Copies of this chain bind each other. A is one copy, B any other.
Amino acid sequence: METPIRIGIVGYGNLGKGVEYAIRQNKDMELVAVFTRRDPSTIQASVPAVDIRDAHTYTDRIDVMILCGGSATDLPEQGPQLVELFHTVDSFDTHARIPEYFDSVNHVAEASGHIGVISTGWDPGLFSLNRLLFQSILPEGNEYTFWGRGVSQGHSDAIRRIEGVKHGVQYTIPSEEAVAQVRRGDNPTLTTRDKHLRECFVVAEEGADQARIEEEIKTMPNYFADYNTIVHFISEEELREKHSEMPHGGLVFRSGVTGEGTKQIMEFGLNLGSNPEFTSSVLVAYARAAFRLAQKGEKGARTVFDIPFGLLSPKSAAELRKKLL
């Protein structure tokens, strides 16, 4: 066994904890420390927690920093800062700002001689990879993306703002009928209402008018009015027991043609028990790739589009050809 790849985690929320779990499944990696903006003494991790301002003292002890902060404010600042000192991987997911973020990480990484892998995860990430693969192979065709079954934070928040609602969780669910149409090559034109259902589990305050709450949810513009929405009223206990996980997933299809109108359908799907834990597992595989790119002497920002799958695996290229091709 070679020396393990030494990993640091920046930010110890759901994503950071998922990375800690994922590293245990990868024998060629070792978690060294968790870096935080909080008081390190309040962090309960399997490795030392360190003030993020002291990260620079770890440059000879950590190979790759996995950045687990948010895309709104954390990553735009931390990405360029940390790629000055380490190879980095992150899940920056503000689609519209990716080119700008790429440039800012690339600028520093080129100068510091590090690799900065940005915007991994599943969307952006694996879904993007599949859309690219699908359209490269089937240039003539239609693309379909379905989301879920999964919790939408924005929609759950919208329910909770309604008067008389104590708690609420909303699941986005792909329409089985729409998915079946795409799968069999019907090439349907699908409206918003056709593609997804919205299912809400609501805890009402005592004495609240449930009929009025249901009506307010179902007619809420932007969030629910354009969808078929199902509302269930449940107890607080049931909500806590059955609806506190963070499942998600989705399906990407390309329904294309080759030759003289031959139908060809490609599909990629995820059914995730935990959205953050899965994203963490993707981050960890790309941390390995970052390390290997650096070993080859490469530097600069990279995305999933730039990285061959062979670098994601702990196996050698010869072993992969022999056993997996």
Contacts and interface: CB of A to CB of B under 8 A. Distances in A.
Interface stretch (A95-103, A150-158, A214-222): A95-103
Contacts of A59: none
Contacts of A313: 132, 135-136
B321 A98 contact: yes
Interface stretch (A43-51, A230-238, A263-271): A263-271
A211 interface: no
A320 interface: yes
Contacts of A136: 285, 288, 309, 312-314
Interface string A131-153: 11101111110000000000000
A72 B277 CA distance: 44
Most buried by B among A26, A136, A278, A314: A136
Contacts of A133: 126, 309, 312
B128 A324 contact: yes
B258 A22 contact: yes
Nearest to A27: B139
B131 A324 contact: yes
Chain copies in complex: 2
Contact of A98 (B98, B184, B322): B322
A277 B305 contact: no
A191 interface: no
Interface residues of A, number: 68
A307 interface: yes
Contact of A281 (B138, B304, B320, B322): B138
A124 interface: yes
A132 B277 contact: no
A318 interface: yes
Contacts of A259: 18, 21, 274, 277
Interface string A59-99: 00000000000000000000000000000000000010011
A325 B277 contact: no
A13 interface: no
A88 B93 CA distance: 37
A306 interface: yes
A128 to B, nearest CB: 5
Given A281-B258, A305-B309, A325 B119 contact: yes
Contacts of A318: 99
A312 B309 CA distance: 14
Contacts of A139: 25-26
* In the A-B complex, the 6 residue pairs with the closest CB atoms: A305-B310, A136-B312, A267-B269, A262-B273, A265-B271, A258-B277
Given A98-B322, A264-B272, 4 more contacts: A99-B321, A131-B324, A184-B271, A305-B308
Interface of A: 18, 21-22, 25-26, 95, 98-99, 102, 119, 124, 126, 128-129, 131-133, 135-140, 183-185, 249, 258-260, 262-274, 277-278, 280-282, 285, 288, 303-310, 312-314, 317-318, 320-322, 324-325
